[in-house]
């Protein structure tokens, strides 16, 4: 008797840009797709800073993955953190608090992304969280809004200033967007909200060891972004290396070795990323190399060396020096899905991945952005409109686009922030804030 023909089993790890777009790209194939991710949502990371600063609700940028894929009959979604990949047995093992699941695959797409990197100083994380997940954004929202609340209660003016000093480390797109929005919050949104403090006297410091803001955008756009940041009240301090971070401040040294301490409770880290530990695991099992941030060096077709059935895409992939941006994740994921679809049809595989650079952009403040698209270099309002349209296009779901437009109108045309809710867990469960509350002010240097 003839064996029943089984469908080609594809396992996708991750529900970010890479994982979601790979799964969707397989919708018209006969493959059975299993997406395994450690969160139940897809996440639009470029707008995390707006959740942190009270502009958007978490659900607007993080819709449920199984809802997005509800009509894709060949896809199922499994919750679980992948702890191991067996390249010989072709299985993926994932865990949840309720147990362990082993999922077999014929083809595997690994899109597990990256996490913040503290360059070997992981102890900084407690006092200067990164911005990679919804948890991070809500934690940051708690820290920012609580800092204003505790400043209002504080009788000692030195301690008030410590609550009202916000430090963002890293002058790339995330750091610039975050610093810009904290400045707008302090100088515009919170006007009239407090009786004892004046939020507009807040100090917002954007720090970087590099010599320029948004360096990858080139000198002209970098200069324009710096001027706009300074106009909205952000203090830009460049060429400074962070040497310590604690509950009440941050220590930096300049190129000449001069030390400076900035007293601040609310600090954020946007300075670097390191790839998911699954990258090191894959490299050890296959003999592939990893780059200095832990990304896996893949073949030109995005496969793991020696394993044509395993694709590594997005932020976890090192190929031709491509940056860790959403378009690389989307296009490499679609390329991997296309290769698998060809394999199922019996066509040739192994086609190299060709990246189409669609440009990059970053917002600095409301109505002001910088954009670099092909030869076009834009700054100010036209770049902001471009940013707005592109971000709306890539947000998942009509309802989310609609409510996002309403929230943007409320925050940018008006002065409101609809999402200022912070829970008692966010406020009281944080050791950094708790610790800082009890510590005296540092004596002047």
Q: In terms of CB distance, is 112 or 221 closer to ligand FAD?
A: 112
Cα–Cα distance measured from residue 276 to residue 274, given in angstroms and rounded to the nearest whole number: 7
Cα–Cα distance measured from residue 67 to residue 79, given in angstroms and rounded to the nearest whole number: 14
Contact string 294-333 vs ligand FAD (x = CB under 6 A): --------------------xxx-------xxxx-x----
Is 88 annotated as catalytic?
Answer: no
The footprint of ligand FAD on residues 74-93 (CB under 6 A) is 81-82
Cα–Cα distance measured from residue 415 to residue 401, given in angstroms and rounded to the nearest whole number: 20
Buried b (16+ CB within 10 A) or exposed e, 275-306: bbebbebbbebbebebeebbbbbbbebbbbbe
Under rule CB under 6 A, residue 268 binds ligand FAD: no
Under rule CB under 6 A, residue 111 binds ligand FAD: yes
Q: Measured on CA atoms in the order 37, 39, 40, 45, is the torsion positive or negative?
A: negative
- Least distance in angstroms from the C-beta of 80 to ligand FAD: 6
262 contacts: CB under 8 Å, gap ≥ 6 = 165, 167, 205, 249, 250, 252
The residue count for binding ligand FAD (CB under 6 A) is 33
Enter the tokens of residue 26.
């397989």
What's the Cα-to-Cα distance from 390 to each of 46, 199, 265, 395, 413, rounded to whole Å?
11, 32, 35, 9, 19
Cα–Cα distance measured from residue 3 to residue 168, given in angstroms and rounded to the nearest whole number: 61
How does strand 317-318 pair with strand 360-365? Answer: unpaired
Q: In terms of CB distance, is 45 or 226 closer to ligand FAD?
A: 45
Q: In terms of CB distance, is 96 or 158 closer to ligand FAD?
A: 96
φ, ψ for residue 129 (rounded to 5)? -65, 155
- Least distance in angstroms from the C-beta of 191 to ligand FAD: 27
Q: In terms of CB distance, is 17 or 384 closer to ligand FAD?
A: 17
Closest CA to 302 of 267, 330, 275: 330
Q: In terms of CB distance, is 154 or 334 closer to ligand FAD?
A: 334
In DSSP notation, 257-295 reads --EEEEE-SEEEE-S-EEE-HHHHHHHHHH---B-TTS-
Q: In terms of CB distance, is 16 or 63 closer to ligand FAD?
A: 16
Contact string 118-147 vs ligand FAD (x = CB under 6 A): -------------xx---------------
Under rule CB under 6 A, residue 182 binds ligand FAD: no
Under rule CB under 6 A, residue 276 binds ligand FAD: yes
Under rule CB under 6 A, residue 334 binds ligand FAD: no
Under rule CB under 6 A, residue 293 binds ligand FAD: no
Q: In terms of CB distance, is 38 or 415 closer to ligand FAD?
A: 38
- Least distance in angstroms from the C-beta of 172 to ligand FAD: 9
Under rule CB under 6 A, residue 112 binds ligand FAD: yes
Under rule CB under 6 A, residue 291 binds ligand FAD: no
Determine which one of 32, 146, 177, 334 is catalytic.
177
Instruction: Find the part of the chain contacting ligand FAD (CB under 6 A) among 110-118, 120-128, 292-300, 436-444.
Output: 110-118
The footprint of ligand FAD on residues 11-70 (CB under 6 A) is 13-19, 36-39, 45-46, 48
25 contacts: CB under 8 Å, gap ≥ 6 = 333, 334, 337, 338, 341
Under rule CB under 6 A, residue 372 binds ligand FAD: no
Other Cβ atoms within 10 Å of 181 Cβ, number:
27
Identify the DSSP state of 441.
P
Under rule CB under 6 A, residue 353 binds ligand FAD: no
Q: Which residues bind ligand FAD (CB under 6 A)?
A: 13-19, 36-39, 45-46, 48, 81-82, 111-113, 131-132, 173-174, 276, 278, 314-316, 324-327, 329
Residues designated as active site: 177
């Amino acid at each position: 008797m003839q064996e029943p023909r089984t469908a080609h089993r594809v396992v996708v790890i991750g529900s970010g840009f890479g994982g979601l777009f790979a799964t969707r790209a397989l919708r018209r194939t006969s493959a059975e797709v299993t997406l395994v991710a450690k969160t139940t949502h897809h996440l639009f990371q470029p707008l995390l800073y707006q959740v942190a600063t009270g502009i958007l609700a978490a659900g607007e940028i993080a819709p449920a993955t199984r809802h997005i894929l509800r009509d894709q009959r060949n896809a199922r979604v499994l919750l679980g953190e992948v702890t191991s990949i067996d390249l010989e047995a072709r299985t993926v093992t994932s865990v949840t608090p309720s147990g362990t699941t082993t999922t077999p695959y014929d083809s595997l797409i690994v899109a597990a992304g990256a996490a913040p990197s503290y360059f070997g100083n992981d102890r900084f994380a407690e006092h200067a969280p990164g911005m990679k997940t919804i948890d991070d954004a809500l934690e940051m929202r708690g820290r920012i809004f609580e800092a204003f609340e505790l400043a209002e209660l504080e009788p000692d003016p030195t301690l008030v200033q410590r609550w009202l000093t916000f430090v963002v480390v890293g002058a790339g797109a995330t750091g610039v967007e975050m610093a810009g929005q904290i400045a707008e919050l302090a100088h515009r949104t919170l006007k009239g909200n407090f009786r004892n403090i004046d939020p507009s006297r807040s100090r917002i410091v954007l720090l970087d060891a590099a010599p320029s803001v948004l360096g990858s955008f080139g000198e002209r756009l970098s200069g324009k972004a710096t001027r706009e940041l300074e106009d909205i009240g952000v203090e830009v301090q460049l060429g400074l290396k962070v040497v310590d971070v604690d509950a009440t401040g941050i220590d930096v040294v300049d190129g000449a070795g001069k030390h400076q301490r900035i007293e601040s409770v609310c600090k954020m880290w946007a300075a670097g990323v390191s790839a998911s530990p699954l990258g090191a695991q894959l490299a050890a099992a296959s003999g592939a190399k990893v780059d200095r941030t832990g990304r896996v060096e893949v073949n030109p077709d995005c496969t793991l060396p020696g394993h044509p059935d395993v694709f590594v895409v997005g932020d976890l992939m090192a190929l031709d020096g491509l940056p860790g941006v959403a378009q690389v994740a989307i296009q490499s994921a679609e390329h991997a899905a296309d290769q698998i679809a060809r394999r199922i049809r019996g066509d040739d595989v192994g086609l190299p991945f060709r990246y189409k650079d669609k440009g990059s952009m970053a917002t600095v403040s409301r109505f002001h952005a910088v954009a670099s698209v092909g030869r076009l270099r834009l700054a100010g309002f036209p770049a902001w409109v471009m940013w707005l349209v592109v971000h709306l296009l890539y947000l998942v779901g009509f309802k989310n686009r609609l409510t996002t437009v309403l929230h943007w109108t409320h925050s940018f045309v008006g002065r409101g922030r609809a999402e200022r809710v912070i829970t008692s867990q966010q406020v009281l469960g944080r050791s950094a804030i708790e610790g800082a509350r009890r510590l005296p002010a540092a004596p002047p240097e």
